[in-house]
Amino acid sequence: MAQFRYHAIDLHGNTRDGVIDAESLHDASEKLRSAEINVLSIEQLTVDTRRYEPDGPRPPETPRDVTLRLRDMPGGLVLLLVGGIFTGVAIPIVLTGITLFVAGQSGGASMALFPLIHLTIGVAMLWYVVGRRRRWHDIYRHGTVTMAVVDGVGYDRSVRVNGQNPYELAWSFEVDGHRYNDKKSSFDDRVLTFTPGDRLWVIYDPDDPEESVEWPPLSR
């Protein structure tokens, strides 16, 4: 599959410049037209394609050998610990309350119902952390590779671990004429090596391009 660089205008009159993957020049033009983008000029990137590529090696073919640990996720260990405590403490209390309720003891119902709130919160935390890790891991191993542009580098003020905010790396990329944006939080100092406008490799879910991950993986 070849890459084509285009200059176009969208339905809102905004100028669009980007790179699209396609089998041919005609295929690339049709993809853009189907996305309601009016192509002004388009050309195939051939010999000099690599000068547009990010620094560093391109992600290997699938399945990729990637290990994503829970501790590499911002707040992952905290959520795992708090969720585990809530769940571990609530379960025996709920079971005790149910036992007392079945035995006809007073207070059994309230003892069983009140900790259910903590149990629900704990299970939700565990489900989120484990599910998010599995989702990212699947994308790293089996997702589609493309180039993205760094849109911003800063701090994630919504997360605070041990009194510190993680860095935040934001990027955007195009798939079939549609632009997608994503960002990741990380305590990895490599985030600071990027500046807006830099290119980087990303891997996205072909069934849901809204979900993407950076390459190489940052230590979260």
Percent of the chain with pLDDT over 70: 87
pLDDT of residue 15: 86
pLDDT digits over 157-195, tens only?
A: 887 778 888 889 999 998 888 889 999 888 889 998 888
- Give the model's confidence band at 47: pLDDT under 50 very low, under 70 low, under 90 confident, else very high: very low
What mean pLDDT comes out for the span 112-122?
77
Least confident of 29-33, 171-175, 207-211: 29-33
Tell me if 38 sits within 8 A of 9, measured CB to CB.
yes
Q: Please compute the mean of the pLDDT values over residues 36-59 and round it to a whole number.
A: 73
Place of tokens 């989702």: 135
Burial pattern 138-162, b for ≥16 Cβ within 10 A else e, equals bbbeebbbbbbbbeebeebeeeeee
Q: How far apart are CA 145 and CA 53, in angstroms?
A: 12
Interval 2-22 mean pLDDT: 82
Q: What is the DSSP letter of 165?
A: P
Strand partners, 200: 148
For 29-48, what is the mean pLDDT? Answer: 80
Whether omega before 115 lies within 30 degrees of 0, making that bond cis, reads no
pLDDT digits (tens, 9 = 90+) for 70-113: 655 655 666 667 777 778 877 887 788 778 777 777 766 676 67
Predicted local distance difference test score (pLDDT) of residue 52: 58
> Residue 152 corresponds to which amino acid?
G
3-state helix, strand, coil in the chain (%, to 5): 40, 30, 30
Amino acid (one-letter) located at 18: G
* Cβ(127)–Cβ(120) below 8 Å: no
